[in-house]
Structure 1
Amino acid sequence: MDSVAVDSVAVDSVAVVDSLQADSAAVRSPEADLAAAVAALARAIEAHTASTQEDTTATTSGAVLGEARGAARDYSVRIFWALVLLGLSYGIVVTLTWILDRVAEASPKRRLFFKRLVPIARLVVWVLFIYIALRHVFDISAQNLFAAAAAIGVAVGFAAQDLLKNIFGGLVIISDRPFQVGDKISVGGTYGEVTSIGLRSTRLVTPDDNLVTVPNAQLVDMQVANANAGALDLQVVTHLYLPGFIDEEKAKRIAYEAAASSKYVYRKKPIVVIVLDEFQETFITHIKVKAYVLDTRYEMLLMSEITERARRAFREAGLITPGHGARAWVPVHAAQRRADND
């Protein structure tokens, strides 16, 4: 009887303990659920943040690559249009030069005027090309353009001083105009017609049809003799030589008529004949005929025609003989024998 009572008490105790544990578990379950929910939320936030960062990184990389591609494509387009503008400017320069040359040849009286417009037209076209390309094609602001020009000018100034001297010399020649295209000038022992004035050099064509290129820096520093100074006519000096015993008045009259009757002479300006007495192993008469030519291109033709007409008239008048200008030749041994006999 007693053992049955003890077992009953033990069973009741176990049931009470289980009931208490269940009640305790039931009491703690909301807190556990909350902690679990918080932990799950934290894990979800971490996962979302990581995913967002990956997406942001991918988006940023894609945007950077897209901007780089767009910038490269934009610069490619700009370079393309700059090249197109360069070709267009070159075509304009060639066309303007061709038109001005043709107009100059078609208008003899204004030939030099149109010739002088060629270097100015070239300079204007190239300056406009550089400005439009930098300001509008590459979209460089005026402030940045001036700053870049100053920086480039300083850098290039040290690297290419001679080139810059020639360029500034060309600008001085174009602005100051000591000579122009079509003028006959003499510089450094070279005489010829100015055919072109560039930013680096000036080109001359000599009477022998040689093309001479002179750097502009030398032209600015040296003395330049301009024969016609922009005028279409030009004074031509023809030198004639006669024996010292001839009739000067007759020789002057023949020389004057030879110049006045030429088809190349410009009759609106005076013809002057000067007689000089010189000694070159013997006395000779030096005659200078100063006459103006209609066009600078006929300078040598006028000089040749005056010489031919004058020499023909001198022979007809008996002022020169067939042996005029020939030096007497005496064999050395004959001269020596003559000296010994004396």
Structure 2
Amino acid sequence: MDDIGLKLKDTLASLTSESLLSALALVVVASLLIMAIQTVIPRLAQRIEGKARYYVLASVPLLRLLIIVGTIVLVVPTLVEPTVSNMLAIFGTLGLALGFAFKDYINSLIAGIVTLYEMPYRPGDWIEIEGQYGEVKRIGARTAEILTPDDTTVVIPHGQLWSALIANGNDGTDNLMCAASFYLEPNHNIRQVREVLRDVAYTSPLIKSWLPVKVVVSNSPHGMNYRVKAYPLAPRDQFEFTSDLTARGAEALAEIGVPFVTAPALAQ
């Protein structure tokens, strides 16, 4: 440790104002590049339809990481002579200091690298983690940001990967299944109700009609439960789509005289 400290002191003593200015210039250029990438690529992705949009968005954190690593590779030789002893002195000291001071931060950074490789979520994915549901808007080196349906930004450390369960609704595609539930009184024509609800789904202006629509029926203490499962045109349409299915489904059921269960039955 003493040898490393002395070597580091000698290395830092050799710094010049020119090398510091050059390193600062590299950092500024890298920062501008990162800002440009985070601004231009999301705007470009908005003009792309389908699955390609999510791959374009997912390139943002990867490019940012490459720029950061490249900047470090360029800055260190600018500041000090890139000999083996100098590199050992600098990185050895930095490793010890950062290891103790930023253990949790480094844990999230490593998880962020794993995220880029395994891609459990990407910008544009709708995920639920630790009870928070929303669209992934940004993936940083340490955290991911999701926007909830209530327009709240939730920052999630990538370190959650190690222990939390992550539910991904569309997993890098633009197909996200939605389900509208109906609790109905028993003693009705089940086949007729299924056909009516299927027609309601297929006539929605927001549906991907080329994908399957399923009407699942089950018994429950609250009556007959029907779940209409279908895909909206885009994941962002999911709430409007579910509302449309629910509203028009209720109207169609009223027309054929099939009542919903009463409030006391739901409370039992």
TM-score by length of 1: 0.68
1:121 partnered with 2:63: yes
Q: Deviations over 1:163-211 (max 9, x none)?
A: 1111111111112222222111121122221111212211111222221
Match of 2:138 in 1: 196
Q: Structure 2: which 5+ runs fail to align? A: 1-12
Counterpart-to-counterpart distance in 2, 1:146 and 1:184: 44
Q: CA deviation at 1:80?
A: 2.2
Letter in 2 for 1:120: L
2:23 is aligned, of 82, 87, 107, to 82
Q: CA deviation at 1:294?
A: 2.3
1:272 partnered with 2:211: no
Match of 1:306 in 2: 245
Letter in 2 for 1:79: L
Match of 1:238 in 2: 180
1:141 is aligned, of 82, 85, 92, to 82
TM-score by length of 2: 0.86
Q: CA deviation at 1:120?
A: 0.7
Counterpart-to-counterpart distance in 1, 2:35 and 2:79: 25
Match of 1:262 in 2: 204
Q: How high is the sequence identity, in percent, across the aligned residues?
A: 28
Match of 1:108 in 2: 49
Task: Give the structure with the larger helix fraction.
Answer: 1
More relative contact order in 1 or in 2 (CA 8 Å, sep 6+)? 2
Counterpart-to-counterpart distance in 2, 1:325 and 1:209: 33
Counterpart-to-counterpart distance in 2, 1:142 and 1:288: 67
Match of 2:38 in 1: 97
Match of 2:233 in 1: 294
Pairs aligned (count): 251
Q: Deviations over 1:200-243 (max 9, x none)?
A: 21111122222111111112322212221111111112212222
Match of 1:205 in 2: 147
Q: CA deviation at 1:147?
A: 4.7
1:168 partnered with 2:110: yes
Counterpart-to-counterpart distance in 1, 2:87 and 2:212: 57
Equivalent residue of 2:133, what SS? strand
